[in-house]
Amino acid sequence: MPDSVLPILRALESGLQDPSVRRSRDRLSALLHPTFREFGRSGAVYSRAQVIERLLDEPIARTVHARDFAALELAPSLVLLTYRSCHVTADGRLEGHANRSSIWRREASGWQMVFHQGTPTEPFSHDAAERER
């Protein structure tokens, strides 16, 4: 299952960086499971309601570069998605590098994220990021 579901979950995960998704309570509610929790890059823990409100109030969505996606089936209809990400500044610099992990559960209504964690990491090179685009 991970090979067949990786493109789907990668698209859903990447879609969460899209300003139109980040500003849609309905879309966020559909993607984030009612029991959702996040361990942020900062170490803070967020509930589903807190994440939705934070995203709806976000002044400007940052451009995110994500790479090295991998999926691991944990149980039927439960997948761990891992990847690396960083923010791309207006002048093209990469900052805020992190290892990311999300647990996605397939429900009757579709895939929903039940957990997300971001862990700060050393920067990866811009050249490597460019090669993967």
Mean pLDDT of the chain: 90
Q: Among 30-39, 52-61, 97-106, where is mean pLDDT lowest?
A: 52-61
Q: What is the C-alpha to C-alpha distance for residues 31 and 36, in angstroms, rounded to an integer?
A: 10
Residues facing 38 on adjacent strands: 46, 116
49 contacts 119 by C-beta, under 8 angstroms: no
Q: What are phi and psi of 89, to 5 degrees?
A: -75, 170
Q: pLDDT band for position 58 (50/70/90)?
A: confident
53 contacts 29 by C-beta, under 8 angstroms: no
Residue 128 has pLDDT above 70, yes or no: no
Residues facing 13 on adjacent strands: none
Q: pLDDT of 22-52, one tens digit each?
A: 999 999 999 999 999 999 888 899 999 999 9
Domains of the chain: 2-132 (3.10.450.50)
Task: Please tell me the total number of residues recorded for the chain in this structure.
Answer: 133
